[in-house]
């Protein structure tokens, strides 16, 4: 039984350690004008050539510098399809000043133990709510890349890019998830930024919710609708995804076919990785 096998992962990983909870996904945000912001994944979707945008009844607040980024009510920024968070309540009408010398960014992943699609790597700043994410394509979890653990190199690359987008401060601390996905990323960041700044941590709260919501949004864009109790019933979620794949052989290119034990549940052709797949 190998470390990165999803079937081993489902049974032995404590809940909340490397997986994300979706229980808070239906939280509503409030824009500065008092209007209600709905989570992006509840809205209808239209697809462009380069990005996936989400159309809500109440328009989202866009960042003028980057039309693909969203401003959250608390002053943060979300890139791609991340959820909005509520503006923190204060005793006065003015927001308390942020201590720029005590900021912390958190790095987390979502989808690494799920059958469908690639894996979300996200970076969240605790104090401002700013969140950026990107995807490791599913091809990194198919042959021959999976056996070479190329997904770990890609995770490191994405983490560095996302930290650059966040404009990491000189003394800003970095908390990173203990997932095997970041086995190469953690020492690389420690060498680059210093061991005292980089800490392995159990990621919870908004950071965890953001990466999970991003992953759910991405798999919905494939046409798949996850089960409601996905977090509590991981095995049921796996077989639900597996059935969706079996219903249409063309969907096999969206699956993490590199998992060795997947052959117990589905007949995989010798060359099954979807040539040129960038999912």
The per-residue DSSP string of 192-259 comes to HH-TTTEEE----HHHHHHHHHHHHHHHHTTT----TTTTT-HHHHHHHHHHHHHT-GGGGGGB-TT-
Stretch 33-51: mean pLDDT: 39
Listed in sequence order, the residues at least 6 apart from 268 whose beta carbon sits closer than 8 Å to its beta carbon are 252, 257, 262
Residue 2 forms part of a structural domain: yes
Residue 8 forms part of a structural domain: yes
Structural domain that includes position 239 = 1-16+102-279
Residue 246 forms part of a structural domain: yes
Q: Are 111 and 117 within 8 A, CB to CB?
A: yes
pLDDT confidence of residue 141? 96
* Total domains present in the chain: 1
Residue 41 forms part of a structural domain: no
Which of 139-143, 219-223, 228-232 is least confident?
228-232
Residue 130 forms part of a structural domain: yes
Residue 47 forms part of a structural domain: no
Using one digit for the tens of pLDDT, what is the confidence trace for 238-255?
Answer: 999 999 999 999 999 999
Task: Collapse the DSSP code of 177 into the 3-class scheme (helix H, G, I; strand E, B; otherwise coil) and give the result.
Answer: coil
Residue 51 forms part of a structural domain: no
33 or 180, greater pLDDT: 180
Using one digit for the tens of pLDDT, what is the confidence trace for 103-138?
Answer: 999 999 999 999 999 999 999 999 999 999 999 999
pLDDT confidence of residue 96? 55
This prediction has a pTM of 0.64
Residue 7 forms part of a structural domain: yes
Which residues on adjacent β-strands are paired with residue 200? 176
65, pLDDT greater than 80: no
CATH of the domain at 168: 3.30.420
């Amino acid at each position: 039984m190998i470390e990165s096998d999803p079937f081993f992962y489902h049974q032995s990983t404590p809940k909340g350690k490397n997986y994300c909870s979706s229980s808070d996904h239906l939280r509503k945000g409030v824009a500065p004008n008092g209007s209600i912001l709905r989570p992006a994944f509840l809205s209808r979707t239209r697809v462009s050539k380069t990005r996936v945008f989400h159309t809500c009844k109440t328009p989202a607040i866009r960042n003028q510098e980057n039309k693909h980024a969203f401003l959250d009510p608390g002053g943060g920024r979300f890139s791609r399809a991340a959820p909005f968070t509520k503006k923190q309540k204060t005793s006065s009408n003015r927001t308390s000043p942020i201590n720029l010398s005590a900021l912390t960014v958190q790095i987390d992943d979502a989808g690494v133990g799920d059958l469908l699609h690639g894996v979300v790597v996200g970076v969240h700043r605790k104090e401002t709510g700013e969140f950026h994410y990107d995807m490791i394509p599913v091809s990194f979890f198919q042959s021959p890349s999976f056996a070479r653990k190329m997904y770990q190199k890609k995770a490191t690359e994405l983490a560095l890019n996302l930290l650059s987008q966040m404009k990491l401060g000189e003394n800003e601390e970095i908390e990173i998830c203990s997932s095997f996905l970041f086995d190469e990323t953690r020492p690389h960041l420690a060498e680059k930024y210093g061991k005292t700044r980089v800490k392995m941590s159990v990621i919870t709260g908004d950071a965890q919710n953001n990466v999970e919501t991003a992953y759910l949004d991405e798999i919905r864009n494939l046409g798949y609708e996850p089960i409601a109790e996905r977090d509590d019933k991981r095995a049921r979620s796996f077989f639900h995804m597996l059935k969706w794949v079996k219903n249409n052989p063309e969907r096999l290119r969206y699956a993490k076919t590199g998992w060795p034990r997947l052959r117990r549940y589905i007949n995989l052709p010798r060359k099954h990785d979807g040539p040129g797949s960038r999912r």
